[in-house]
Amino acid sequence: MECRAQETTNSTEWVSLMSIQTREQPRHYFDPEKLEQLTQSIARHGILEPLLVRPLARNQYELVAGERRYRAALQLGLPEVPVVVRRLNDEEALQLALIENLQREDLNPIEETEGILQLLAFRLQMPVQAVPPLLYQMKNSLEKEADTRNNVIPNNSEQEQEIHAVFQNLGLMNWLSFTCNRLPLLNLPNEILDAIRSGRIAYTKALAIARVKDDGERQDLLTRAIANNLSLNQIRAHIIKIKPTQELQSPRVQVTNLHRRLLKAKLWEDPQRWSQAQALMAELESLLDQDSSNMSN
């Protein structure tokens, strides 16, 4: 089902700012400096593009898109603002809000991922937390079919068709790219997530810093990377410097530490990482088989 507004009008109306209520938006972080620049622009030139709202009861409205303009108007104390009124259900309102922010490139990768998950949850009529396991299940099924049927994709279930339709309507990426590259972002340490959300660091740099296991060293590197605007290459070079040298550890300690980290990481809960781990374990088993063969000879 495509996002189609009912009783849609593109004509601009002027309504009281106090009659507009806000709702949870895909975008959570608003850069203070850019918001101040917008406020000054509106003070000089007015609101050039109307807000998008949907009607509520008794001449009340809910904001769908344009929260930066709404916040700037509040800061200026404007009595009225221009709006376009559309009758939208919850899914349509969320999709339009998401698309509006994406078209303006206002969302960071975390907000974009969370927004798409909300949209999928609406479309599939399930809790947000149930969507990632479903996507990973689709990915695993696709990989199994590729191995057994010469890359022939199986017939899609109704849920899979809905998921394909959502990503097709958004026009950003396909579901597989989203599953492999965006969902893992939500498992990053909290300080890394906060830095990405606030726009203080690019998510590619943040992903590199997240690989530092020691909490103190990771926080220190994050602080330095933001303060000095370190490049990705500089961050990687620093990680190599602080990475403990395995040469100082005995082979037995290395194996023991690796075993403990594997149990703690619970790789089997992440289908993508578990698939990679299985490939590596297969190589280890091959080495062990060679060792057993040599002993028998």
172 and 114 assigned to the same domain: yes
More confident residue, 62 or 198: 62
- SS3 track for the chain: CCCCCECCCCCCEEEEHHHEECCCCCCCCCCHHHHHHHHHHHHHHCCCCCEEEEECCCCCEEEEECHHHHHHHHHHCCCEEEEEECECCHHHHHHHHHHHHHHCCCCCHHHHHHHHHHHHHHHHCCCHHHHHHHHHHHHHHHHHHHHHCCCCCCCCCHHHHHHHHHHHHHCCCCHHHHHHHHHHHHHCCHHHHHHHHCCCCCHHHHHHHHCCCCHHHHHHHHHHHHHHCCCHHHHHHHHHHHCCCHHHCCHHHHHHHHHHHHHHHCHHHCHHHHHHHHHHHHHHHHHHHHHHHHHHC
* pLDDT of 146 above 80: no
Condensed to tens digits (0 to 9), the pLDDT of residues 31-49 reads: 777 788 889 999 999 998 8
pLDDT of residue 68: 86
Which residue segment(s) compose the domain that 215 sits in?
189-243
pLDDT of residue 104: 65
Report if residue 268 sits inside a domain.
yes
pLDDT of residue 154: 47
Report if residue 57 sits inside a domain.
yes
Condensed to tens digits (0 to 9), the pLDDT of residues 17-28 reads: 999 998 776 666
Over range 112-137, report the average pLDDT: 89
* pLDDT of 116 above 70: yes
Report if residue 2 sits inside a domain.
no
Report if residue 180 sits inside a domain.
yes
Indicate the pLDDT class of residue 156, thresholds 50, 70 and 90: low
| pTM of the predicted model over 0.75 | no
Report if residue 292 sits inside a domain.
no
Condensed to tens digits (0 to 9), the pLDDT of residues 158-167 reads: 889 989 988 8
Domain count within the chain: 4
